[in-house]
Amino acid sequence: MAPDEKPYRVYRGGRAKGKVPTTPRPGRQQSSGAGRRGDVGDSAARSEYRGPGAQRTRGKPRWGRRIGLAALLVLVLVIVWAAASWFAFSSGVADANKRLDPNAKAALDSQSGLLLSHSTTILMLGTDNNAKLASRAGDMHSDSILLLRTDPSHHRLYYLSIPRDLQVPIPGSSTQKINAAFQIGGAALAIKTIRQFTGLEIDHVMVVNFGDFKDLIDGLGGITVNVPKPIRSNRFDCPYPTQARCDKWPGWRFRKGSQHMNGERALIYSRIRENMLDPSETDITRGARQQAVLDATAAKFTSIGTLIGVPFNGSSLAKPLTTDLSAGQLVQLGWVKFRASSASSVHCRLGGDLGGGGGGSPSEDNPATIAMFLGKSAPQPPTGAFNPGCVTGHTLQ
């Protein structure tokens, strides 16, 4: 060893004792002047080498990749949920389409265009037969007759209730109560009768069985209905097994105000014909209650909570329905309903000579109310208990 050579090298991390390493350090090139100070290759090697025992630091977590994977997982779950929802719901709607008489579908007016962008008129018929009660087992009258017109361009819905006791000509039969058309000829004759009476085109039909409607409301988790005044009904559909107990029972009671109802409670509310606390109520008032129940059900049907549960109960949601509307059209209708403002919805009813022993002759002011229903004139409220008219923002009582 030459006198001027040292048995060690100076590194960046300090002096290390021992023999001089013979293996080149990473990044350093062998050259004739490799051991000289100031050599460029040696300088680069020293900048990379951290000394004996040094550890490499870990890279920063790749959050972008993690967020991307999470977003992809959410997208896959949404696609699976949407597919399951669609198949479950469309299966139930297909059964509802099969239940409709082909003659009823043929009686409808043809409509082109999407419900999302074109106005449409839907006839909604509510039947109240009950196989458990002998008095109503064969009753197929349409106790609730309601026309719904959509106005997607203005995000507005129009409702028109038709009292079931109005005396009108029934095609192929005589002049009698309008609800008898369904009993005589089903939905097809009801469509023809109502079109002839109102002069309105009817694009679609939906028949709701109130007996099964109870199960639908329970499946939705109940509905919220605003009861405008206290009610104590007569003793219909007594819940007790003995006549003696039913004779002591005061009837069904409903307090005033907004309240949550299960299927049975909502069905009872829609069936009340007589309010012992207000003798002025009529069958028109009963129609308003049915309209409120249908409206609350439609609102719950289109809620976010219901949509989330569609893969599990989508088939049962259509069980009470008989309709020509396809699954896609019902989804469009739900979206139109969702976007419509309840504060701007117009609720109308037709009227007639229905009180004090009247014969049920239609009011001569009904055509003016139909014009309001079509949006051709401003809504005007009824001037009497049995008169026609329209109000905005709430149901007629």
The 8 Å CB, 24+ separation contacts for 328-333 are: 329/115, 329/204, 330/89, 330/93, 331/89, 332/114, 332/115, 332/116, 333/115, 333/122, 333/150
CA distance 211 to 208: 9
Say if CB 324 and CB 318 are below 8 A apart.
Answer: no
- Strand partners for 362: 352
CA distance 166 to 361: 6
Model pLDDT, residue 60? 58
> Cβ of 215: how many Cβ atoms within 10 Å?
17
pLDDT along the chain (397 residues), means of 10: 57 54 52 48 53 56 81 84 73 88 94 89 82 54 86 92 92 92 94 96 90 80 90 88 89 93 90 86 80 78 62 65 88 85 89 81 95 96 91 78
Model pLDDT, residue 35? 47
Say if CB 149 and CB 119 are below 8 A apart.
Answer: yes
Choose among 108, 126, 118: nearest CA to 202: 108
Structure tokens at 117: 């962008």
Model pLDDT, residue 12? 55
Q: Helices marked H in 199-326 — which ranges? A: 210-219, 243-248, 263-271, 283-301, 304-308, 310-317
Model pLDDT, residue 364? 95
CA distance 61 to 125: 62
Residues for the chain: how many in total? 397
Model pLDDT, residue 308? 61
Model pLDDT, residue 152? 93
| 224 phi, psi to nearest 5 deg | -110, 125
Say if CB 354 and CB 363 are below 8 A apart.
Answer: no
CA distance 158 to 342: 10
Q: Domains in the chain, start-ordered, CATH in brackets?
A: 79-392 (3.40.630.190)
Give kind and range of the element (H or E) at residue 188: helix 180-198
For 7-36, what is the HEC assignment? CCCEECCEECCCCCCCCCCCCCCCCCCCCC
